[in-house]
Structure 1
Amino acid sequence: MPKAPDPPPTAAPHGERELQPEEAGVGPRFHRRYEVDVERTTKSPEELMSCIGQDIQHYVPDEIATFEKTTGQEGRLAVGDEFDIHIRSPWDGPVRVVEVEPRRFTLATLDGHMEAGQIRFEAGDHPTEAGALRFSIESWARSRDGAVDFVYDGLGLAKKAQQGMWTFFCERVAEDCGQKMEEVRVLTEREETDDEDDG
C-alpha cells in the first residue's frame, strides 16, 4: 500500500471545546491506514458513507468503544457535530466533524483526546474490479502528552486496542456491503519529530 499524502487543511468550525491539532501533541507522528476491498457490493460508496453517518456505532464493537453524539442531529452527519468516544481509560476522547463529502468524512480531535490530529473515513470505487469498492480509515496524529506517548508508543497497549477497533470497523463494512476480498490491510508509519527528544 503506497503512502498517502498528508491530509489537506480543513476549515474547522468553532465550538465550546478547542481543537487539539497535531502540532499540539508530543512524540512521533503516526500515519495509519486500514483498508478493505469489498466485491459484489450492494451499496455504492455514497450509500455506504451515508449509512455510516447515520449510525457509526453499528460499525464499532460495543465492548471496546461507544460513540456518544453530544452535538448535532441524530441519524445524520454534518460539519460541526461532536462525539465523545468512550473507551477504557485513558483512551476516551472527544472529536468534531470537520469535513463531510458524499464519499468521505473527517473527524478532528478536541482538547482532552488521547491523540492530537485527525482521522478520515472514505469509500470509493475499486481501482481494478468492477462492482467492487474500497473502504479506508486513515489517520494522522501524535500523542496528547508524554504519558499517552509512553502507553501507546512505549508499551504498545493503546496501539493494539486501536488497531482492533478499526479492523473490526472495516470488517463490519464488508459484511454490510458484500463480500470481503481479502484480509484488512493495515499500514502504520512512524515519523520522528523535531521535538521528540525533548520528551
Structure 2
Amino acid sequence: MAAPLDDVALDQLFRSGRTYNGFTDQPVSEDQLRALWDLMKMGPTSANQLPARLVWCVSQEAKEKLAACASDSNADKIRKAPVSVVIGMDVNFHEHLPELFPHTDAKSWFDGNAELREASAFRNSSLQGGYFILAARALGLDTGPMSGFDGGEVDKAFFADQPGVRTNFISTLGYGDPATIFDRSPRPAFEKFNRIA
C-alpha cells in the first residue's frame, strides 16, 4: 500500500496549484511535453480507453491558428503562452482497444453504438484532461485550462485529418506568472455538496 503524500506534494498538486492567465518567458522543452504525456497516460480510464488526442501548439503559427478560434481574452493568452494545448477526444477510440485492453474483446462493446462511444470519449478524455493538469503541476509546470472557443473551428483547424476526433477543451502551459492569477475563489466545506449514504 502506498504512503500518503506529504504536505509539500499535496500543496503543489492541489492547495497551492492555480490556473494561470499568463506565463513567464521561460521555455518548455519537447522533453518536458513527452514527460508530461508519460505521466498523464498512466491515469485510469474505463477499459484503458485513452481517448484523449493532444495537439501541442509550440510554434507561433500553431498558436495563432488556435487563437483565431478563441474569444478575444483567451486568444491573447494562447498567443503569449510558451505552449498551448488542444485536448481532443477520439470517438473511435474503440478501434485501439485490441492493443490497449487486450485481455478481452472490449472493442465489441462499442461497435455500432455511437452514443456510448461519444459518452465514453467525453468522460474519459475529461479525466485525462484532469491528469494533464496534475501531471503538469507534478513536473513544476502550470496550466491555464479554458473554455471560450469555437470547438467546430478548432476541430477544422487541428483535427480535419482525423475523423472522429473533436475538441474537449484547451489549455495553456508553461511557468505561471504570479501577477496573472486572481485571489482564490471559495471552496465549500464538505457538508455543502456531499452526503454520506
The TM-score normalised by the length of structure 1 is 0.31
Query: Whose strand proportion is higher, 1 or 2?
Result: 1
Normalising by structure 2, we get a TM-score of 0.31
**Which of the two has higher C-alpha Rg?**
2
Structure number having the greater helix percentage: 2
